Structure 1
């Protein structure tokens, strides 16, 4: 779907430019980054985040740009470590979407007392080297 003046829809690329590019820029500055979608069932979170067919969502576009930028910076002294996690919060329970089994009651959200940042205890983190690896994990 193409965004036109007066149209209430934005293209997936526009959503990336407005939201994802800033997340990606911050990641390259050394910050931990997350993409988070919130809304009612059926409101379009999956479409916005993942997309369908040629209308890639913010996650695939961001990942493509991430690995493209890493490839362009191979000659620098920088070291890149990319890990992938995927979770769902539903009915106030956190589920690890990469784990085969989740504990009854869900995973626990914790705060690191020294760094102040929040994390999900026991959330599976998978090292990845390309968007193809991420895509494979998402489809499992």
Structure 2
């Protein structure tokens, strides 16, 4: 384990596996266990495992809770265990799709730039690529 100076003049520890700089020894030990050894001591009855109690609690509350106090306000009346789950539902299903694929003839639309960027990484039909190339040459 190598101690190195960080930019803010505090010392840090370097992970010998991935070279990530971590400030505290206990954080480095946890990093190695969780990231590199896959240590996940908190196991749910659905077989998902988590590194921290907080992650486990968040999972059980959002996926297995019978209480779903967050109701969609757009008329579909779907219920959710968390505010963030309802917000995600609203964004995906009820907001206008703002992000459109620029490939001529594709027309796919998404509610987030993240999902559009994932779509754009997929190969488009060669004909669409030829049409787009010609369009840009004009």
TM-score range, shorter chain: under 0.3
So what's the TM-score if we normalise by structure 2?
0.21
TM-score, normalised with respect to structure 1: 0.21
Q: Which of the pair has the greater relative contact order for Cα pairs under 8 Å at 6+ separation?
A: 1
